[in-house]
Structure 1
Amino acid sequence: MSLLRRNSQPGSNSRRFWWIAAIVLLSVFTALIAFMRPAATPASAPVPPSSTMPITQRPATASPGTPAQTPTVVPDVVNPEADGAPRTADFREFAAAAATAIYTWDTRTSSYSEVYSRLRDWWNVLPDGSNPLAVLVQEFEATGINAGSYTTLADQQAYRSAAVESLRCDSELAKVRERPTPWEGLHVCTVSLSVLDQSASTTNAYTAPVSVMVNCPPAVTAPPDHCVMVGFYAAPSRIVY
């Protein structure tokens, strides 16, 4: 009897060993499955609007500002070179057309003086002289063009076109909310333009901002039935965000 018991112990120990090994392997396999299963990813948080940045200079006729709100619907823009300034009391439509005109010229069909004269027709000097034509010249040159460079570009048959990408006006601009325009009827709009420079040998596409000051009824310095441009800024340090 004692011999039989001794002989049965090795077999029992062997079975116990295999049971333990099987349990260990099963545990390892379960852990591997849990480790390899992809973890649930949390829903992406909405991206906040870009923080505002103050500018170093102020427009002579209106308060500058810094970017914030969602751009409004872009109004339809007439061909600024063909039709000139639109006679409209819609300041958004006017600002979009003015910004497009500022970044539109063609050396194949117009001289520099003709381009400047066309833009001069948009600019309405205020009675107090706070927006002199010297500002027009300065800011137009900030778009990258002057009499000398225009002559060089004419040799290359260069021309520039622009289309409105987005437009923000008045309370949509942080700094205008902080410092509203000084009178009713004066509006500030910042327009983001898609600009295309082309010549006989090169093509260059880029985005450019321009801030336009628009004077509309019921302002006493505005025409009774339509808006006029009383200033614009193209220099990066003066863009109204």
Structure 2
Amino acid sequence: MPSAVPGETDMAAPASPVALSPTRDFRALAVEAARGIYTWDSRSSSYSDVYARVRSWWELLPDGSNPLSVLVKEFEATGVTASSFTSLGQQSARQSATGQSVRCDLELAKVQEFPPPWTGLHVCTVIVQVVNQTTSDRNTFSAPITLMLNCPPAVTAPADRCAMVAFYATADRIVY
């Protein structure tokens, strides 16, 4: 039975993977991506499946400033690694997230001090509420995640939408 609380999922059912919608609304994309990065279900997917989904959102920039090695490090900072996923799978672990707040660009003090290097690059920090559940335990916590979104009119952005080009989950990289 679905939850009566808006935005909350029934943790008995597999967590549906989040799909990013093509949009020019960088705020909406930031929240959607943050939710998706923290949503997975070991009962219906493998670590490779979860990683591949998140990897498909990370668009490499032509200058090489957002290498996949950063993606791996930041994805593992969310608490999911190949080895931990094996253990999580044995516990039928699943996780879902809802966006609690989003701040972008000049709403962030660090961005005021160090603006993005080109027009169309947006920096958003999303606070997500994460529900982590296994067959025997349920844990809820909040987590900040910073997303870099490349949008038109940036020459490196897709013509009709914004693209996620990076995210940061490690504490020293979160932008406030």
Query: What TM-score do you get using the length of structure 1 for normalisation?
Result: 0.66
Pick from 156, 170, 183 the counterpart of residue 118 of structure 2. Answer: 183
Pick from 84, 107, 116 the counterpart of residue 149 of structure 1. Answer: 84
Pick from 108, 132, 139 the counterpart of residue 197 of structure 1. Answer: 132
- CA-CA distance at 1:85 after TM superposition: 1.7
* Distance in 2, Cα, partners of 1:217 & 1:128: 17
Determine if contact 1:88/1:225 at 8 Å carries over to the other structure. Answer: yes
Structure possessing the higher radius of gyration over alpha carbons: 1
- CA-CA distance at 1:178 after TM superposition: 1.1
Structure 2 counterpart of 1:136: 71
- CA-CA distance at 1:80 after TM superposition: 7.5
Structure 1 counterpart of 2:51: 116
Determine if contact 2:16/2:40 at 8 Å carries over to the other structure. Answer: no
- The residue type paired with residue 106 of structure 2 is S
Note the alpha carbon deviations across 1:149-202, whole angstroms, 9 max, x for none.
000000000000000000000000011011111000000000000000000000
Which aligned pairs between 1:63-82 and structure 2 lie closer than 5 A?
A: 81-82=17-18
* Distance in 2, Cα, partners of 1:117 & 1:146: 13
Query: What TM-score do you get using the length of structure 2 for normalisation?
Result: 0.90
Higher helix share: 1
Consecutive unaligned residues of structure 1, counting only runs of 5 or more, are: 1-75
Consecutive unaligned residues of structure 2, counting only runs of 5 or more, are: 1-6, 8-14
* Distance in 1, Cα, partners of 2:167 & 2:120: 16
* Distance in 2, Cα, partners of 1:103 & 1:192: 11
Determine if contact 1:211/1:240 at 8 Å carries over to the other structure. Answer: yes
Structure 1 counterpart of 2:4: none
Q: Where has structure 1 moved over 6 Å in runs of 4 or more?
A: none
Higher strand share: 2
Note the alpha carbon deviations across 1:100-146, whole angstroms, 9 max, x for none.
11101100100100000000110000001110111111001001110
